Amino acid sequence: MISMILPLTFLILERMRLGLLCGHLTLRNSECDLMIHDEFDWINKIKPKSHYQSHLLEGIGDDASVYKTDASYDEIICVDTLVEDVHFKKTTLSPFDIGHKALAVNISDVAAMGGWPVFYLVSVAIPSDWSEEEMEELYKGMSSLAEGYKMDLIGGDTVSTTDKLVISVTVTGRVEAGKRLLRKNALPGDIVFVTGSLGKSAAGLALLLKRSRNAHFTAREKRLTIAHQRPRPKVEEARVINSLNTRGALNDISDGIGSEAHEIAEASNVSIELDESSLPIAQELQSVDTAKRLEWMLFGGEDFELVGTVRENDWELLSEAMKKEGLSLYKIGTVKEGRGEVWLKKEKNGLVRLNKKGYNHFKS
């Protein structure tokens, strides 16, 4: 009995000591409780106040960073990471899907700067339950997407890990000199647009989490799961917006438009008014309960559509140019004077303030 109680007492005292060290009492495996409570606050804390390299045009704070070259274009570079059990499970994405998505989310950030992708580098931490065949499939997922953009894989890193698969992809791209499209470019009076319907990825994820990717899905359900597994980065759309040679703000939707609209509003120091009745509704989500659908559309994330703003005078020209390329674009709101707020215009109840909600590592 004593031999059981003694170690237990020691364990409890040790937990209390750690709890005191961390300023609170918790029973977690790690030494201290996770101290990051908001992803975006944390990024702001580590953001350098100045930089050494004068050819850096945009550092931390947009979808990707941009630096100047002596050529007629500026260079774009960005990195995003996918972690098993956070961004995917073996039951939600196949190895091929993981490769596709890890590259697609980065190409999407290049598109969100108005540019096109050029090179990619891949860093993988591989646990022992992942086979060589699975890793080959993952790389096939990347190369088949890269092919369409003529992107080259130019480097990376491979390490072992004891736990979950981690894949980190760096993508470089280019944009015509001085023509990058930034979150801070919106001005009052602008039209807010989105390149496609929202919420399909979140609906697809819900299906995959419930049933697993090898289950039987109807054709409608399959379109939702594919939206989650194989998002198409909107490079063509970004290039049309860029070709207009006008001021415009742009952001890609990874966390949910509720979050990204705030990012534009905050960076531009304006407010954004979204019109609920103008948000395009995917045909696949027509039959879904309205409240659930709105939650997925505003806060679900991972649609990788582009949300942005253009001058009211440029709207006709832009929507014509998109139509000519067979691409879609929807007017969903307007930019107003403000201080980073986002409002949703309801059909009946007037304006409601949207929280900066969406996917937030450490909060959700």
Ligand X SMILES: Cc1ncc(C[n+]2csc(CCOP(=O)(O)OP(=O)(O)O)c2C)c(N)n1
Ligand Y SMILES: Nc1ncnc2c1ncn2[C@@H]1O[C@H](COP(=O)(O)OP(=O)(O)O)[C@@H](O)[C@H]1O
Query: Could you list the residues that contact Mg ion (CB under 5 A)?
Result: 63, 80, 109, 252, 254-255
Q: What residue 60 binds from ligand X, Mg ion, ligand Y, none (CB within 5 to 8 A, per partner kind)?
A: ligand Y
**Residue 254 makes contact with ligand Y by CB under 6 A:** yes
The 207-246 site mask, x for binding ligand Y (CB under 6 A), equals ----------------------------------------
Vertex 71: Cα angle to 65 and 73 (nearest 5): 45
Q: Is 157 annotated as a binding residue?
A: yes
Cβ nearer to ligand X, comparing 225 with 319: 225
Q: How far is the CB of 71 from ligand Y (least distance, A)?
A: 23
Q: How far is it, in rounded angstroms, from Cα 263 to Cα 62?
A: 9
Q: What residue 88 binds from ligand X, ligand Y, Mg ion, none (CB within 5 to 8 A, per partner kind)?
A: ligand X
Q: Is 139 annotated as a binding residue?
A: yes
Q: How far is the CB of 301 from ligand Y (least distance, A)?
A: 9
**Residue 11 makes contact with ligand Y by CB under 6 A:** no
Q: Is 359 annotated as a binding residue?
A: yes
| Torsion sign over Cα 298, 301, 304, 307 | positive
Q: How far is CA 193 from CA 24, 64, 104, 319, in A?
A: 45, 20, 21, 10
Cβ nearer to ligand X, comparing 104 with 118: 104
Q: Is 252 annotated as a binding residue?
A: yes
The 104-143 site mask, x for binding ligand Y (CB under 6 A), equals -----x----------------------------------
Q: How far is CA 231 from CA 113, 226, 277, 297, 301, in A?
A: 18, 7, 25, 15, 11
Q: Of 314, 331, 184, nearest to 245 (Cα)?
A: 314
**Residue 80 makes contact with ligand Y by CB under 6 A:** yes
3-state secondary structure of 50: coil
Q: Of 269, 306, 307, 278, nearest to 187 (Cα)?
A: 269
Q: Which phi and psi angles does 237 have, rounded to 5°?
A: -60, -45
Q: Would you say 157 and 81 are in contact if contact means Cβ atoms under 8 Å apart? A: no
Q: Could you list the residues that contact ligand X (CB under 6 A)?
A: 80, 86-89, 92, 105, 205, 254-255, 301-302, 359
Cβ nearer to ligand Y, comparing 62 with 84: 62
3-state secondary structure of 143: helix
Q: How far is it, in rounded angstroms, from Cα 314 to Cα 306?
A: 17
Q: Which residues are annotated as a binding site?
A: 63, 80, 87, 109, 139, 156-157, 183, 252, 254-255, 302, 359
Binding stretches for ligand Y (CB under 6 A)? 43, 46, 60-63, 80, 109, 254
